[in-house]
Structure 1
Amino acid sequence: MELKLVMNKDAVQGKVNELIESKAQRDELAGRVGVLEKVKGLLLLPNMEFATNRQIAEFYEVPVKTIQKIYTRHIAEIREDGYTTMTGKMLAENLATDMMSTAKVTREKGHILIEFDGMATQIPYSTIGLYPKRAILRIGMLLRDSEVAREVRTQLLNIEEKVSKEVKVAEINNELELQMELARALMNGDVQAVALVNAKIIEYKNRHIAKVEAKLNEVTEERDSLGEKVSAFIESDEVYTFGEVAEGIDGLSAQALREFLQVHGVLGHKSRGEVYRPIGKYKGLGWFSIQTRVAKWSGVMFTNTYITTKGRMEIAEFYKKVQAQEMSA
């Protein structure tokens, strides 16, 4: 008996939407990084399993700002995948002193040029975000308007569907065998065999119910765990420079972000020798942290205003809200 499992267009679209909208589904597939190379050659930084915003934008054939927006909206998720930051200057120094690296590093005005394997990429001297393959794949699951991302999702769904079909066919065959066994017992008038097969069918169905309940418990636990992670992330002591936060907000510079916050009454103007401080109702929101540190190389103490994890997320939302209001005005 031949069994055909057909997935219609609506079902396919439903699965695509699930990838875009469901973190649980993305988490399940985020480890299948081999899909990236199947779809298109992915250029990573030399001797590193990381790519920059620019490299990811080139891979998915979208503007850099689009990648930055995805990062801002899903910051906790992408950081869980291993996202990190480093200054372009430090990255260039590491490559220049790496005896195993064949990359050519050229310091140019305003950026650093890295050439390797017949390819070239530019990075700024300031802090840059570095994404591992897992995060790059996750971005592909989140991007809506990218042909490359659509192909990535198709490949992921093909893999999932192949595994799913194999499981479904095996389950259907098991159920058919039990039904045929029951039919034979009924035709033979074997009451004992009928009772035995019925017991097998009940056990089979109970096993499926247990699987569904286990999956429901798993999803509930995942939801609770995710809530705890997000809370811990927001409440963490980690702080960021204005440049690090600005990078994820429409590609702003640190200065542009400071000016935006000053114009909209979040930060005050500083006098010489002072630091930027929140003003008005923004004093108590926990967006900023003023810290005194010791310079690594000179040993000189300095005081700066940093942005907290809570501030990073809420400032990005505040910026989007202001932009939307200005566009609709």
Structure 2
Amino acid sequence: MKTNTKENVNENIIYEKSLREEIGKHRDKAFDIINKVGGLMLLDNESLAPLNEVARFYNATRDTIKMLIRNNKKEFQKTGVKVVSGRDVINSVGKNNLPTEIEQKNGYKLITIGERSAKIANGRNTMLTKDSIIRVGMMLRDSEVAREFRDQATEILKRADVNTIVEVKDDQLRKKAELYDKMTDGVPKMAQESLLTTIEHYQTTVRELERKAEQELQEERKITQDAKAARKKAEENTKLFEQLATETGEKLESVVKDLEKARRKSDLFDRYIDSGLNMTLQEFCKRYLDGIKTKSFIAWLQSDGILYENRNTNAVYRTRKGFEQWLINVPVKQYNNAMKTTLMITPSGVVKLAQKYVGDPRLNEPWIEFGN
């Protein structure tokens, strides 16, 4: 598996404080990178920048920068974040030797230095030092400007490593020279040459051991980086699986509901299409509408334009034109042999009404009444 070393270092700078501290030791070089990336307008003798200007430079929101500072309070307390009044900012800007323009606006002042401008509130202003501006670039994840800064900052880390190695080697050579002078003082030349050969052999052996140690360290780092990449990939796959499982479950649930609805409609058709029996509204609600109350179903029929809102003078429900074959008023003998007209559903009406109302969303409304 190939690993992009530069990209790994870029990510590591975000998470590893030791790398940020090392880059912070080379503030001037780091700020040179910021000037090359896009430039930033500084106030107060070129040492402070307003929070709004820093947010603009990194193409981030003001709230994003403020949250980053709050979440890493200790680091930014060390690098420097100041709250300064608008008047003090103006006084500090006046000390600069650069050509400066100050315009009074509604609620703020617009300061222009050279080709760049920044808004300064009349009240309090959050100002970041150079060190804090650099720290934002090292920790801001979703910013192309910050990412470019970190890419170039890796060169600072490389140069710092080389300088450290050179300093250590110089010190080691100086100490070895002093030791050699002491050891060879008064020793015959032949013995000195023999001793020098021994020392050179020793140095060669030490260099080989150092080379192997460095190689093992690089291999260990690569294993660690590969493990991080594998863990990240596994997390992404887990999230994708959970998303697919959720979507699949929702689709299956919808399919099951559609199949059940189709089965119930098919059962209705098979049972009543050839029957000459009429069905009461109460029986229809009990069999096919989960037992909702008859008065609720009648209200549906009225609101959907199948029945008139008002009954006739005999208190009988009236069917609107076009639905006469669905619902009819049928004389029914009562227990006292009296005849009473009752609204009933025809066989074809059972099929039509079932097709229309089985699975109706109103059945799931919490205030619907069930039971007759």
TM-score by length of 2: 0.42
The structure that has the greater radius of gyration is 2
TM-score by length of 1: 0.47
